[in-house]
A and B are shown apart, each in its own frame.
Chain A
Amino acid sequence: MESVKNIELLLEKYFEGETSIAEEKVLKQYFTSETVAPHLEQYRSLFGYFKAEQEEKLEQPIVLTSQKTTLYRWLVAASIALLLGGGFWFTQQEAPQNAVAQSELGTYDSPEEAFEETQKALAMVSGHLNTGIESIGYLNEYENSKNQVFKQ
């Protein structure tokens, strides 16, 4: 049985971080025993806690899923490769069809004819554009009334 004097000395060293593992075991032993001096009672729960914590166990079994994970990773990699490869193949297949479609758009043999047709097409585009611009004209009305309200 440790003397109270000795425990007091050990405690002093303990708080300075100067006790050895063996001395700390003596303290744990003392404070988890039945007879703790009343004036040292306050330290009981501290050392009691440390002692109790040593008993805490991992309840769950450890599962080393590494093999499963690698298989899973391979599967993911394989499916990505398949997707990319499939996509590439698909676009490659598509390309010749596009070429055919373009050749069927129609060509003109004489440059004059081609020029006329181009002009017609451009005129149509600009005509449609102008219809759009006409409706923008209304916006000027807003601009005018705004200027009347907020005189510049």
Chain B
Amino acid sequence: MHQNEFVQLITPFKDKVFRLAKRLLVSTEEAEDATQEVMVKLWAKNETLSELNSVEAMAMTMTRNYCLDQLKSKRAGNMSIAHSNYQDRQAGLQQQMEDGDRLQWVERMINDLPEQQRMIIQMREVEEYEFEEIANVLGMNETAVRVALSRARKVLREKMMQIEQYGIG
């Protein structure tokens, strides 16, 4: 496979890889690095790619593994993850600012979930994957994915209600 063909191949899902990495690593820069790393690793597998059912599923699995490794070594090194990306949404008018605030809160709530639930929420709600595909990427069975998704959704609902009742901040 030529480099050009490979770039063509990854174009449909490179943003998904980036978004999954960002869901796990939070920081944009780290997610960009992770995407880069995963793509180079995928490129190194070049010859065997044609044997795969889904290169996208493979890329997502590699992203998951890479990011979890990153988080593990970060924890081992006793470094905290920089939550520096909450402020990067632009806010203009008052209403926009309020909406932006709310979206940031949703983001924070999701990122407070355990890693596995975060990945499931990301792949289901944002990428709109079927349960089968999520199960495949995470190496779980479909029922377990469904249960974890339901649990995560309920946690989010509860937190939303708390905010609704007591206000933001």
8 Å CB contact of B36 from A18, A45, A54, A63: A63
Instruction: Please report which residues of chain B, range 48-105, place their CB below 8 angstroms from some CB of chain A when the two chains form the complex.
Output: 99, 102-103, 105
CB distance from A38 to the nearest CB of B (A): 12
What chain A residues lie within 8 Å of B127 (beta carbons)?
A: 54
CB pair A49–B43 under 8 Å, yes or no, is no
Interface residue tally on B, bucketed by range = 35 or more
What chain B residues lie within 8 Å of A99 (beta carbons)?
A: none
A18 to B22, CA, bound (A): 27
Q: Is A77 an interface residue (CB 8 A)?
A: no
User: Which stretch, A9-17, A81-89, A112-120, A144-152, touches the partner chain B?
Assistant: A9-17
A59 to B161, CA, bound (A): 35
Instruction: Please report which residues of chain A, range 121-144, place their CB below 8 angstroms from some CB of chain B when the two chains form the complex.
Output: none
What chain B residues lie within 8 Å of A60 (beta carbons)?
A: 32, 35-36
Main secondary structure of the interface of A (DSSP, over half): helix
Q: How many A-B residue pairs have CB under 8 A?
A: 85
Q: Which residue of A lies closest to B125 (CB)?
A: A50
When A16-B150, A46-B106 are in contact, do A24 and B128 touch as well, CB less than 8 Å? Answer: yes
CB distance from B55 to the nearest CB of A (A): 14
When A45-B99, A64-B6 are in contact, do A56 and B39 touch as well, CB less than 8 Å? Answer: no
CB pair A17–B40 under 8 Å, yes or no, is no
Can you pick out 28 interface pairs between chain A and chain B where the beta carbons lie within 8 Å of each other?
A15-B153, A17-B147, A17-B153, A18-B146, A24-B128, A42-B160, A42-B161, A42-B164, A45-B105, A45-B160, A48-B102, A48-B103, A48-B106, A52-B103, A53-B19, A54-B127, A56-B18, A56-B22, A57-B18, A58-B14, A58-B15, A58-B35, A60-B36, A62-B7, A62-B10, A62-B35, A64-B39, A65-B40
